[in-house]
């Protein structure tokens, strides 16, 4: 092959590879635009009136495509909080919670717990198990898929399939109102 033919062949191969790369890149952009949420990842705030939730009761709601559980803890639930030696991560070092939320009660107001109602193992729905409803367990939350257990602060027990405490969404509590999606200002 002479030098001109070799140069033309390399040029053709280079141009075809560039065209193929441009086609793949354009397809990626098109598909990512089609499958993204309308408006992007904007998390619109949601206000919830807490007055209708009595002590020991909970409310389930949906916010930004995720399940949220709001629990109004009563005295029995506080007494049923697990001892630190029974928990995998009692200091909440590995969990997802807003900065400033206490590791013990994991809420801005001790009587209120706001969590994503999804187990941290497989993301399955959680059920609330009242204190002393089961022999040998103080109660808390149970993952409906594999039975993973969490205490009433959303902290995972040792020996469970999950290795992280329940995730707490960004929120704040003002009097009898919960505002999901807005950061707590520390007041």
pLDDT of residue 186: 54
Give percent of the chain with pLDDT exceeding 70.
90
In this predicted model, what pLDDT tens digit does every residue of 159-172 receive, in sequence order?
A: 888 888 899 898 88
Of 31 and 71, the one with more pLDDT: 71
| Total Cβ atoms within 10 A of residue 128 | 18
Q: Which of 119, 69, 106 is nearest to 184 (CA)?
A: 106
Between vectors from CA 69 to CA 174 and to CA 148, what angle results, nearest 5°? Answer: 140
Say what the pTM is: 0.72
Q: Which of 71, 74, 78 is nearest to 53 (CA)?
A: 71
Domain boundaries, the chain: 1-36, 46-180
3-state secondary structure of 87: strand
pLDDT of residue 5: 87
Whether residue 117 has pLDDT greater than 90: yes
Give 46-180's CATH code, choosing from 2.102.10.10, 1.10.240.10, 3.40.50.300, 1.10.150.240. 2.102.10.10
| Average of per-residue pLDDT values in the chain | 84
At 118, the pLDDT band (50, 70, 90 cuts) reads very high
In this predicted model, what pLDDT tens digit does every residue of 17-61 receive, in sequence order?
A: 999 999 998 888 888 777 665 555 556 889 999 998 998 999 999
Q: What are the structure tokens assigned to 71, written together?
A: 């629990």
What is the mean pLDDT of the segment spanning 114-121? 90
């Amino acid at each position: 092959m002479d030098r001109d033919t070799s140069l033309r062949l390399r040029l053709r191969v280079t141009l075809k590879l560039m065209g193929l790369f441009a086609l793949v890149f354009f397809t990626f952009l098109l598909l990512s635009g089609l499958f993204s949420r309308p408006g992007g990842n904007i998390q619109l705030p949601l206000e919830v009136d807490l007055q209708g939730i009595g002590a020991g009761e909970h409310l389930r709601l949906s916010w930004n495509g995720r399940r949220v559980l709001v629990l109004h803890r009563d005295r029995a639930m506080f007494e049923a909080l697990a001892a630190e030696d029974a928990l995998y991560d009692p200091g909440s070092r590995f969990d997802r919670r807003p900065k400033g939320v206490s590791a013990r009660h994991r809420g801005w107001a001790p009587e209120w717990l706001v969590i994503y109602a999804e187990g941290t193992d497989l993301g399955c729905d959680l059920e609330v198990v009242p204190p002393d409803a089961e022999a040998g367990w103080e109660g808390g939350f149970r993952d409906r898929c594999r039975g993973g257990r969490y205490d009433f602060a959303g902290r995972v027990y040792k020996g469970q399939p999950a290795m992280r405490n329940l995730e707490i969404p960004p929120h704040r509590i003002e009097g009898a109102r919960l505002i999901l999606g807005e950061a707590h200002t520390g007041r």
